[in-house]
Amino acid sequence: MTVLVGYSSKYGATEGIAERIAAALQSAGVDAEVHPVRDVHDPSRFDAFVIGASAYMGSWRKDATRFVQHHRDLLAQRPLWLFSSGPLGTEKTDDQGRDMLTQAVPKQFAEFTDSLTPRGTQVFYGAMNIAGLRGRDRLVSKMPAVEKILPDGDFRDWSAIDAWANTIAQDLSPSSRTVS
């Protein structure tokens, strides 16, 4: 059983989350490989999939979306988990009292959940280095309404990431599927 931890990351935050998930799976005895989705041309050799990308303006990154759409028949037949990285800051709720992680679910997840029935979907807090932003992201990040919801820093919650990876390892372990 080999698991693909496939990711799309613009500035590296999601890459770090994917690497951490793969490391946690490996520590739990699950054979896992981590690759950017754009480098995976034949996913049929993988037995299970954990696919993640960052969200920008409410949308999962395009190459992860395309990967899932392109391989939907395969992914629908094998164990699948999806994750997104995005919300920034230490607040658990936004200024209207809504859960930050729920609010940050990328719009693609509704359709993927319906059509692919993943075993789990998860949003993780992300990271951003304002000084390193390029092009349009740089301009958008300076807009007054946006500036306050895009604080600079690394807010990735490694214990939540490890805990989620461990639930995947547990699900994939042969003993968890034993019917008594």
Ligand X SMILES: Cc1cc2nc3c(=O)[nH]c(=O)nc-3n(C[C@H](O)[C@H](O)[C@H](O)COP(=O)(O)O)c2cc1C
Residue 5 in the binding site for ligand X (CB under 6 A): no
Kindly determine how many residues on this chain lie close enough to bind ligand X according to the rule CB under 6 A. Answer: 24
* Contact between 128 and 11 (Cβ < 8 Å): yes
User: The dihedral of CA 59, 63, 64, 68: what is its sign?
Assistant: positive
Instruction: Give the binding range for ligand X (CB under 6 A) out of 25-33, 40-48, 136-144, 159-167.
Output: 136-144
Residue 56 in the binding site for ligand X (CB under 6 A): yes
Q: How far is the CB of 116 from ligand X (least distance, A)?
A: 21
Q: How far is the CB of 62 from ligand X (least distance, A)?
A: 12
Structure tokens at 166: 């461990």
Q: Quote helix, strand, coil % in the chain, to nearest 5.
A: 45, 25, 30
State which of residues 31, 33, 94, 137 lies at the interface with ligand X (CB under 6 A).
137
Strand, coil or helix: 33: strand
| Greatest Cα pair distance in the chain | 59
Provide the mask over 64-103, with x wherever binding to ligand X is found by CB under 6 A and - wherever it is not: ---------------------xxxx---------------
State which of residues 37, 126, 165, 169 lies at the interface with ligand X (CB under 6 A).
126
State which of residues 141, 152, 153, 160 lies at the interface with ligand X (CB under 6 A).
141
Tell me 148's DSSP state.
Answer: T
Strand, coil or helix: 46: coil
Q: How far is the CB of 85 from ligand X (least distance, A)?
A: 4
How far is it, in rounded angstroms, from Cα 49 to Cα 82?
Answer: 8
How far is it, in rounded angstroms, from Cα 129 to Cα 117?
Answer: 34
Residue 108 in the binding site for ligand X (CB under 6 A): no
Q: Which residues bind ligand X (CB under 6 A)?
A: 9-14, 54-58, 85-88, 104, 126-128, 133, 137, 140-141, 150
